[in-house]
């Protein structure tokens, strides 16, 4: 290769031995974690609630509705932005966990995006890179930017595929080495707040005894599906009640969201629809015993392919002695076809079988 003098000079300057080059690399790496753009500065107004939402997009989220292809994460993002713009008395965080690309294998490109709305106005947005498979980076950003860190009313919503029971499957496709599991989810949820009024899991199969046991000290109420959930997800439209009825109880809000989601999903789905509300103050009395038995049961099914649809826990013999449904309110529509088309009830608890 023939190099002209200018190229030779450039390559010489690019040498790894040069301190300037090393400093440049260091700056690139350390500033590569996040960037914030303050878009609008608004006068302090009362923040009555915080909604933190995380949309996972680092996997296949394609689905079809009336023959039209849609990406679940993009649909969820659009809906959350519309909700955030109407949240005049609250603040809304949206973390869009897009696939992480790397420049030259090592350097993160900061593909994840966050949006921070305050009183219905977008005040901050930026790009960031994850530091792990959980929510470490997201919670750091939340703590740094939130106007209401001690809010008594904090809500959390997660949109994505089933949060795995164990760390034995690559959840983040672009970074398979980053682990994610029920344990990681519940631990990292505490880093946002240790007192979350309502957690919404818009995922498949996470209405399980193990998940509720892990969440019982972090959140008061959970909405989740004990079975598969269509990628059109649970609807958060009823969050508008926080604006029209600010004194609404968490229980009534949760029930409204669950009922509305169930009604919307049931209107077009031929598959089974299950949306459950778990009052963890009531379920905590028995979830320890139930989840311990369930973990015992899981040892026998662990070898089977994961991510298969749950079974109703009431049909698992080993759990008979500890089975309880106190504090669980389930909205259930059986599938129109398939072996389970004849089912008329569901306990609200989903288990691997």
Partner 1 sequence: MKKFILSILTLAFIGVISPINAQTGIDAEAKFKKHINSMVNSVEKAEAPERKREILNDSFDDLIGAIEKVETMKAIPNADKKGLTTLKNDIQNKKDELNGVNGFSSVPNNNLNNFANFVQQDMEQADTVTIGVTTLLLIILILILL
Which residues of the chain form contacts with partner 1 (CB under 8 A)? 1, 3, 11, 15, 59-60, 62-64, 67, 69, 99, 101-105, 161-162, 173-174, 176, 204-205, 228-231, 269-271, 304-309, 335-339
Separation CA 167–CA 189 (nearest Å): 17
Q: Which is nearer to partner 1, 38 or 60 (CB)?
A: 60
Helix (H, G, I), strand (E, B) or coil at 15: coil
- CB of residue 228 to partner 1, shortest distance in Å: 5
Is the separation of the CB atoms in 71 and 159 below 8 Å?
no
- CB of residue 352 to partner 1, shortest distance in Å: 13
Q: Which is nearer to partner 1, 101 or 245 (CB)?
A: 101
- CB of residue 218 to partner 1, shortest distance in Å: 25
Q: Which of 279, 233, 225, 282 is nearest to 255 (CA)?
A: 279
Q: Which is nearer to partner 1, 196 or 229 (CB)?
A: 229
Q: Are strands 107-108 and 112-118 parallel, antiparallel or unpaired?
A: unpaired
Segment (H or E) for 242: helix 241-244
Separation CA 180–CA 223 (nearest Å): 20
Measured between alpha carbons, how far apart are the two ends of the chain, in Å? 63
- CB of residue 12 to partner 1, shortest distance in Å: 9
- CB of residue 179 to partner 1, shortest distance in Å: 16
Q: Which is nearer to partner 1, 6 or 105 (CB)?
A: 105
Is the separation of the CB atoms in 271 and 230 below 8 Å?
yes
Q: Which is nearer to partner 1, 57 or 290 (CB)?
A: 57
Q: Which is nearer to partner 1, 90 or 164 (CB)?
A: 164
- CB of residue 160 to partner 1, shortest distance in Å: 9
Dihedral sign, Cα of residue 235, residue 125, residue 140, residue 101: positive
Dihedral sign, Cα of residue 143, residue 231, residue 227, residue 241: positive
Separation CA 286–CA 241 (nearest Å): 32
- CB of residue 335 to partner 1, shortest distance in Å: 7
Q: Are strands 49-56 and 90-97 parallel, antiparallel or unpaired?
A: parallel
Q: Which is nearer to partner 1, 174 or 190 (CB)?
A: 174
Q: Which of 78, 107, 199, 87 is nearest to 148 (CA)?
A: 87
């Amino acid at each position: 290769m023939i190099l002209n003098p200018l190229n030779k000079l450039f390559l010489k300057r690019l040498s790894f031995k040069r301190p300037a080059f090393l400093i440049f690399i260091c700056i690139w790496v350390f500033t590569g974690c996040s960037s914030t753009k303050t878009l609008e500065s608004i006068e302090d107004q009362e923040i009555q609630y915080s909604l933190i939402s995380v949309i996972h997009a680092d996997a296949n989220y394609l689905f079809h509705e009336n023959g039209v292809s849609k990406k679940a994460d993009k649909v969820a993002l659009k809906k959350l932005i519309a909700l955030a713009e109407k949240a005049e008395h609250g603040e809304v965080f949206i973390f869009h966990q897009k696939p992480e690309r790397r420049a030259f294998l090592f350097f993160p490109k900061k593909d994840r995006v966050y949006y921070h709305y305050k009183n219905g106005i977008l005040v901050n947005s930026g790009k960031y890179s994850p530091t792990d498979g959980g929510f470490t980076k997201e919670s750091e950003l939340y703590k740094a930017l939130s106007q209401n860190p001690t809010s008594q009313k904090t809500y959390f919503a997660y949109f994505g595929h089933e949060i795995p029971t164990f760390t034995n499957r690559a959840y983040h496709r672009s970074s398979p080495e980053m682990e994610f599991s029920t344990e990681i989810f519940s631990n990292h949820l505490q880093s946002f707040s240790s007192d979350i009024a309502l957690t919404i899991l818009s995922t498949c199969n996470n209405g399980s005894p193990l998940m509720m046991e892990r969440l019982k000290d972090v959140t008061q109420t959970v909405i989740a599906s004990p079975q598969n959930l269509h990628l059109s997800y649970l609807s958060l439209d009823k969050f508008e009640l926080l604006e029209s009825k600010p004194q609404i109880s968490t229980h009534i809000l949760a029930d409204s969201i669950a009922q509305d989601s169930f009604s919307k999903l049931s209107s077009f789905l031929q598959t089974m629809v299950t949306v459950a509300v778990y009052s963890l103050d009531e379920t905590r009395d028995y979830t320890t015993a139930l989840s311990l038995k369930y973990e015992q049961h899981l040892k026998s099914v662990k070898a089977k392919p994961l991510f298969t649809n749950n079974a109703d826990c009431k049909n698992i013999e080993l759990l008979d002695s500890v089975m309880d449904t106190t504090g669980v309110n389930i909205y259930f529509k059986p599938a129109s076809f398939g072996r389970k088309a004849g089912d008329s009830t569901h306990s609200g608890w989903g288990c691997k079988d």
